[in-house]
Structure 1
């Protein structure tokens, strides 16, 4: 576990280094600016200890910045001033775990650091538990969708890939919520009858009752996802996926949900066989006005080289990472895998097993990553 100690007095840092370096992975910084630089270049640190009285930026402000940069780090204050008001400010602004006064015996500092490390481990364990719960919940939902509606699953995969390409072009640093939103956008389809999904995805006209049932899938998705911790942002995006409205609407589409709606509209056109130019021309009147910068990035993404080449390959040549360009049915005309699904090891194994029982195409139409050529 890494420990950072920040003080503007060199002799104090030297003393702490001698007493602590054999026990901990210790970094010292002479003043708050060096401390912030160490956080960026050497972090994360399990425990950060700061002197209170430092020129330019006192320990209260410094630890508040530490909280912003590394919120999981356990923060402690070391000072020679018995200032009650400073102590209260440090606790309130920096969420201080311990407040140590100078001169502080090495044994006392060691006990405080050990307690801080234990607290850091507990926080990290809780974070990993939540992360594991999130991953597990998402995997279960996606697996269920794949079993219940391969078409809806494949649509979600296509939407996710398209969104991630656009976000990469924009240069978004942390696109996780959009990736999850794209992946899970179709999860509400578990409540929609397959015949309605079949008609909707092929551009067939739905009756008013069927259209109402289809539109329910966004609400169903939001309800399901709202039960998973830390999915508020994803729920907002997914819940507005039917709201492809114009700029004059009294309840404008949230900015976070716009990309998903553009991708869904484009996918509808693409799956009907509309070429890229016609599809973009169809979307431009609405989206160039509502989200000009986003639509520009989307348009550039669609017309850029996506890194794949189409091929007809025999099953033995199909590899993970390739993408289906056709629906695959068994002899009973049941859909096994839908166009747009990425081939994974599990998908390839499933095809292999099905080939033993059903007559599948001798060659499969796929997109092959250029790196595989």
Structure 2
């Protein structure tokens, strides 16, 4: 049952009354006091709605629901309160900590009406989340697939770091991970304006001249400015600025920037020929740049990954979902697709089409799509 409601009160008989009257309508869960409520959210959450009494020992309802908002932002919060607490209840609603407050005594009809409204609010919040992940992220994935054929060097890199960022956010169980994935996926968009020879130097860890660095930074600023024009992606645009030669301290210190920098720096080191383990050791020399939790998560990923199932296939044997273990080049040396890219149906169709006029060097080295947890080819 999706309609999971957590009732919080310091009186067991009141909780029992909620269970008796509402168990046929909702999936009811009970918590005797704020401490038990927070423990249940941590172990058995998320709940669609939390209904809390205001006056409880140790922590009042506003304080509890503020903590619920912090750990479970999509949970909709309702507070039950007496008339004497009206002012503090109104303040809680106005500050966004509480969706509704109900005065006691409260009829079951009024309570169910408020819970139904809260469930609808929860549905809308999750619909918005799905829109961001499925619609926006899906549309951007299509754009990046197209651009991967225009500039395979830059967009192969974006796909590699996106997969690494996804694995890190999953390992750390970070909420709202879509913005971090989008930042990784879009981080190289501006590189279409940067000459390829500069990208080759930058990606291989070579130092850039002041003029070359200026050109690279201009591409990053262009990317950020374009992304910020998309509603609700302002934070993603800010994260991307961490790639600048001298990013602001406000940008560089954020979790999103540290995630992106870790993925980019790891990719730089592996492109330069270092193994995953050697790259990790280099990154661990700068813990202040990424933070100990991110480095520990990367170490865990590398320890558990299985990236050794590399196959050599002819072009006709490629399938969507396979990961390129090496660059794909034409017979004349032209880079067609960059290593680390996940092959999609679109990319495969375009590659087959291009091979009619520009023969592809075979065999092609790929990683099986069932190699789970692989963060680098």
Distance in 1 of aligned mates of 2:60 and 2:345 = 55
Match of 1:60 in 2: 62
Match of 1:321 in 2: 322
Distance in 2 of aligned mates of 1:135 and 1:345 = 17
Match of 1:348 in 2: 348
In the alignment, structure 2 segments of 5+ residues that lack a partner are 373-377
Match of 2:184 in 1: 182
Q: Which residue of 119, 142, 145 corresponds with 1:143? A: 145
TM-score (norm 1): 0.75
Say whether the 8 Å CA contact 1:67–1:94 is kept in structure 2.
no
Could you say if the C-alpha distance between residues 84 and 365 of structure 1 is closer, same or farther in structure 2, counting changes exceeding 3 Å?
closer
Could you say if the C-alpha distance between residues 7 and 370 of structure 1 is closer, same or farther in structure 2, counting changes exceeding 3 Å?
closer
Secondary structure of the 1:361 match is coil
Secondary structure of the 1:308 match is coil
Which range moves more in the overlay, 257-266 or 102-111?
Answer: 257-266
Secondary structure of the 1:83 match is helix
Distance in 1 of aligned mates of 2:206 and 2:35 = 64
Say whether the 8 Å CA contact 1:64–1:93 is kept in structure 2.
no
Could you say if the C-alpha distance between residues 31 and 189 of structure 1 is closer, same or farther in structure 2, counting changes exceeding 3 Å?
same
Cα offset, 1:188, TM superposition:
0.4
Could you say if the C-alpha distance between residues 306 and 60 of structure 1 is closer, same or farther in structure 2, counting changes exceeding 3 Å?
closer
For residues 112-155 of structure 1, give each alpha carbon's deviation from its aligned partner in whole angstroms, at most 9, with x where no partner exists.
Answer: 22233333333333343344453145324413421321221112
Could you say if the C-alpha distance between residues 351 and 34 of structure 1 is closer, same or farther in structure 2, counting changes exceeding 3 Å?
same
Larger radius of gyration: 1
Distance in 2 of aligned mates of 1:56 and 1:285 = 42
Distance in 2 of aligned mates of 1:174 and 1:339 = 27
Which range moves more in the overlay, 196-205 or 354-363?
Answer: 196-205
Could you say if the C-alpha distance between residues 86 and 255 of structure 1 is closer, same or farther in structure 2, counting changes exceeding 3 Å?
closer
Match of 1:364 in 2: 364
Could you say if the C-alpha distance between residues 112 and 358 of structure 1 is closer, same or farther in structure 2, counting changes exceeding 3 Å?
same
**CA RMSD between the two structures:** 4.4
Distance in 2 of aligned mates of 1:41 and 1:203 = 44
Count how many residue pairs are aligned between Structure 1 and Structure 2.
363
Q: Which residue of 113, 121, 127 corresponds with 1:119? A: 121
Q: Which residue of 243, 246, 257 corresponds with 2:245? A: 243
Cα offset, 1:228, TM superposition:
3.0
Which range moves more in the overlay, 148-157 or 262-271?
Answer: 262-271
Distance in 2 of aligned mates of 1:99 and 1:302 = 45
Say whether the 8 Å CA contact 2:193–2:219 is kept in structure 1.
yes
For residues 232-265 of structure 1, give each alpha carbon's deviation from its aligned partner in whole angstroms, at most 9, with x where no partner exists.
Answer: 44333322314179xxxx9798245466556656
Say whether the 8 Å CA contact 1:64–1:94 is kept in structure 2.
no
Match of 1:30 in 2: 32
Distance in 1 of aligned mates of 2:190 and 2:173 = 28
Say whether the 8 Å CA contact 2:81–2:89 is kept in structure 1.
no
Secondary structure of the 2:243 match is coil
Match of 2:306 in 1: 307
Could you say if the C-alpha distance between residues 7 and 340 of structure 1 is closer, same or farther in structure 2, counting changes exceeding 3 Å?
closer
Say whether the 8 Å CA contact 1:276–1:303 is kept in structure 2.
no
Distance in 2 of aligned mates of 1:291 and 1:11 = 50
For residues 64-104 of structure 1, give each alpha carbon's deviation from its aligned partner in whole angstroms, at most 9, with x where no partner exists.
Answer: 22222323333222234543344345435673333323332
Distance in 2 of aligned mates of 1:298 and 1:104 = 48
TM-score (norm 2): 0.74
Could you say if the C-alpha distance between residues 66 and 302 of structure 1 is closer, same or farther in structure 2, counting changes exceeding 3 Å?
closer
Matched, 1:91 2:93: yes
Could you say if the C-alpha distance between residues 213 and 8 of structure 1 is closer, same or farther in structure 2, counting changes exceeding 3 Å?
closer
Say whether the 8 Å CA contact 2:145–2:347 is kept in structure 1.
no
Distance in 2 of aligned mates of 1:111 and 1:289 = 50
Q: Which residue of 225, 228, 234 corresponds with 1:226? A: 228
* 1:265-280 equivalent positions in 2, closer than 5 A: 267=267, 271=271, 274=273
For residues 164-220 of structure 1, give each alpha carbon's deviation from its aligned partner in whole angstroms, at most 9, with x where no partner exists.
Answer: 67x489x64329455433332211022235576567668999887666434421111
